[in-house]
Structure 1
Amino acid sequence: MPNESRTVDEIDRQLVHALQIAPRISWAALGEIIGRSPAATAQRWQRLEAGGLAWLVAYESLGTHSVMAFASVTMDIDQRDQVIDALSAEGRVMAVSEGAIASRLHITVAADNLQTLIGDVLDHVAHIPGIVDVHARFVARLLAEGASWRLDALDPAQQRMALESADHGAPGVWKQPTGPTFDPDARELAHAFIRDPRSKVAWLADELGRHEATVRRQLSSLLQSGAVTVRCEMAYDVSGWPIERSWFLRVPDAGIAALTAVARDYRGLRLVALTIGDANIVITALSRTLEESVAFEAQLLGASAGVTVTESVLHLRTWKRMYRNMGLQGRSVWSSAQQQPAQPTL
């Protein structure tokens, strides 16, 4: 993992931290937080985004999918590049990464129902030339995910300013979805919004041919209910949290609550999920050092009697992250949103 921290300064990290708290905050309010003019703030963000160093992503919240799975993919090492390209190009594959075993990839997939996940997604993955085997662990429930992860760049006063300036209809935090179900109108709006989560309501209304007040109400419903999530991401190596690991754990039922509480107290937490298979809990977390990651693992194992690790993955290289293709240097290089015409932003 190359060290290119020189491409990001502390003001950049403050900007990203503020956008993690309030993804749709205005440039004026954001500039006040980081001590820059609105124009300079927007230009700074555009540089980060263009370089694949930071980006906003909006998506149908993971809990709205009926089925999600983590899968280990064994491949013919001689066809490694072709397999990675094929998985990265597959729209239903959310994430692709490599660990310490050269012939194995780790992917995340999601679909609307079990039949689609197995018959269309996992069967398709299994038939990609070069793939030898697929081992899937199905998610029963998400308990935490990465939208709540934060940098530590803003001081408490700046964080309060971001919270006070936030569009409360678009909190930068994951919620356990409570609805609404995606009727055709809601899904059309969600897809337009996902292309650019900072697009103005007026632009969305014009794009969809709806009244502005209607779009504002519908969008607020999607975001407040947790059906759609918005988050600000950053390339891990310039974020100060370059180490990503996943643990597949077997935990006695009586110990799940205690282990989840320990995980949620860790600042680098990215995901906690209940799963079906040889592991019943999956946890993914970032760390600043390998030593810190080992210490967190010890906390997990000590959270409850009987906790065992069925597999531990150090993600050495990530090729796709939350539907974003990532380059060799861990930079965002492509997303469906980047293929859309420029839209007015806040």
Structure 2
Amino acid sequence: MNVLSETASNGNHLRMVRSVPRTLARRRQPRRTWRIPTRCYGFVVDPLTLDALDRQLAHALQVDGRAPFSQIAAVLGTSDRTIARRYRRLRSAGALRVVGLPHAAALGHVDWLVRMRCTPDAAVPVAAALARRADTSWVTLLSGGTEINCITRTRAHADESELLLQKLPRTPRVTAVTAHCVLRAVAGTSGWPGRTAALDPDQVAALSPEPEAATPPGEPVTLSTADNQLLTALAKDGRASNPALAAATGWSETTVRRRIEQLRRGNVIYFDVDVEPALFGHTAEAALWLTVAPAALTAVSRALAAHPQIGYAAAITGPANIAGSVICRDLDELYEYLADGIGSLDGVSRAETAPIVRRVKGAGTLLVP
């Protein structure tokens, strides 16, 4: 099977799927309903259509990933049973999930953006191997399946045996590897704007947890064995129940609640939402690398943070000093954004893009001590 046919069969390109089989469609009214197939880390699952309540739920979970369904329901004006049912539907289909993740700096860790070029027959198995690692996230196939991007997390003073690049498959089919240290996240830290536009300011305020007190950077936090078990469980399911977390840690439910609150207030962990942009009508995604004059780096970063097309962006080391993801409705909008949005930024001397053809792993389980 060639790369294009394999890619299409695995659902990596947008396909319009009728909500009923063709044979049934002929017998019913001529009106057709078109839906977007969702993908669960590269696999097509049952087609879904997000309505206004689904979008509000996704936005609410981005505001507070562990907000009780009763609180979300009260803010949205519906029942908690309806919210719970909607959430289970989206999560079971692989369309949405909440993850609880540690901040790298708080634990003395460093994030790296790894970019690999492979022969077409090697990209999928190498990406799958990377996705199985606990210290990787956002593993994506780019450029028609000949390039892999991922984030890997290491300890600041990692032993050589822990380094990802030392454990990559030694094969001539991996033709190039580069690694770039993530210096600072500059955009998308509160979620992609496409999924955070369903609630009004009053609803966001009603769902927002109490703001964490600003604390100056200090020594990395030392976590106990039970803390590590808690973070591991939250990385798999950020909405895991308190009884389940108590069973994982050996703590009481009260201790679990208190410890999560302490870690959130200390800016040690945060909660994020994995959701498919295609469900919001955005079907063109691309990785973006910008080469920016150092004097313009801050101004460009602030401008990107205000662009709704930017899903995430970070300042990195290397020839291109800003990397990010662009999410647009279609290729025409992607062209317009690159020509007008990026093209109008002073200080950008070079821009490189590569289409994302498959997301093999999202936020995922990140390394804990």
Structure-2-length-normalised TM-score: 0.75
1-structure distance, mates of 2:61, 2:254: 25
2:26 equivalent in structure 1: none
Q: CA deviation at 1:213?
A: 5.1
2-structure distance, mates of 1:230, 1:155: 18
1:82 equivalent in structure 2: 125
2-structure distance, mates of 1:311, 1:117: 31
Q: CA deviation at 1:144?
A: 3.3
Q: CA deviation at 1:190?
A: 2.7
Comparing 135-144 with 314-323, which one deviates more in the overlay?
135-144
Q: CA deviation at 1:303?
A: 2.0
1-structure distance, mates of 2:85, 2:135: 33
1:97 equivalent in structure 2: 140
Partners of 1:126 and 1:132 within 8 A in 2: no
Q: CA deviation at 1:164?
A: 1.2
The alignment status of 1:317 with 2:351, answered yes or no, reads no
Q: CA deviation at 1:187?
A: 3.4
2-structure distance, mates of 1:220, 1:267: 30
2:66 equivalent in structure 1: 24
* Per-residue CA distance 1:90-143 (angstroms, 9 max, x = gap): 222212222225422222222112645885311212536842331222222223
Could you list the runs of 5+ residues in structure 2 that have no partner in the other structure?
1-12, 17-34, 37-46
* Per-residue CA distance 1:283-332 (angstroms, 9 max, x = gap): 22322233333333332342223x122532221222112127xxxxxxxx
2-structure distance, mates of 1:273, 1:35: 37
Amino acid at match of 2:221: F
* Per-residue CA distance 1:257-279 (angstroms, 9 max, x = gap): 21011101112322222211111
2-structure distance, mates of 1:231, 1:117: 31
2-structure distance, mates of 1:89, 1:177: 35
Could you list the runs of 5+ residues in structure 1 that have no partner in the other structure?
325-334, 337-346
Comparing 131-140 with 181-190, which one deviates more in the overlay?
181-190
Q: What is the SS of the residue equivalent to 2:359? A: strand
1:161 equivalent in structure 2: 203
2-structure distance, mates of 1:113, 1:290: 39
Partners of 2:105 and 2:220 within 8 A in 1: no
1:182 equivalent in structure 2: 221
Partners of 2:233 and 2:240 within 8 A in 1: no
The alignment status of 1:113 with 2:156, answered yes or no, reads yes
2-structure distance, mates of 1:75, 1:177: 42
State the aligned residue count: 319
Comparing 232-241 with 199-208, which one deviates more in the overlay?
199-208
Q: What is the SS of the residue equivalent to 1:314? A: strand
Shift in alpha-carbon separation, 1:183–1:192, aligned structure 2, 3 A: farther
Q: What is the SS of the residue equivalent to 1:82? A: helix
Q: CA deviation at 1:50?
A: 0.4
Which of 10, 25, 42 lines up with 2:84 in the alignment? 42
The alignment status of 1:7 with 2:48, answered yes or no, reads yes
Which of 255, 271, 279 lines up with 1:230 in the alignment? 271
The alignment status of 1:135 with 2:188, answered yes or no, reads no
Amino acid at match of 1:109: T
Look at both structures and tell me which one has the larger radius of gyration over its CA atoms. Answer: 2
1-structure distance, mates of 2:257, 2:169: 42
Shift in alpha-carbon separation, 1:311–1:115, aligned structure 2, 3 A: farther
Partners of 1:67 and 1:114 within 8 A in 2: no
The alignment status of 1:242 with 2:283, answered yes or no, reads yes
Q: CA deviation at 1:179?
A: 6.2
Shift in alpha-carbon separation, 1:7–1:203, aligned structure 2, 3 A: closer
Shift in alpha-carbon separation, 1:296–1:15, aligned structure 2, 3 A: same
1:149 equivalent in structure 2: 192
2-structure distance, mates of 1:68, 1:238: 29
Q: What is the SS of the residue equivalent to 2:168? A: helix
Comparing 110-119 with 273-282, which one deviates more in the overlay?
110-119
2:96 equivalent in structure 1: 54
Partners of 2:75 and 2:206 within 8 A in 1: no
The alignment status of 1:271 with 2:315, answered yes or no, reads no
2:166 equivalent in structure 1: 123
The alignment status of 1:300 with 2:300, answered yes or no, reads no
Q: CA deviation at 1:74?
A: 1.9
2:4 equivalent in structure 1: none
Shift in alpha-carbon separation, 1:181–1:201, aligned structure 2, 3 A: farther
Shift in alpha-carbon separation, 1:176–1:233, aligned structure 2, 3 A: farther
The alignment status of 1:66 with 2:109, answered yes or no, reads yes
**What CA RMSD, in Å, does the superposition of the two structures yield over aligned residues?**
3.1
1-structure distance, mates of 2:186, 2:143: 27
Amino acid at match of 1:96: V
Comparing 63-72 with 46-55, which one deviates more in the overlay?
63-72
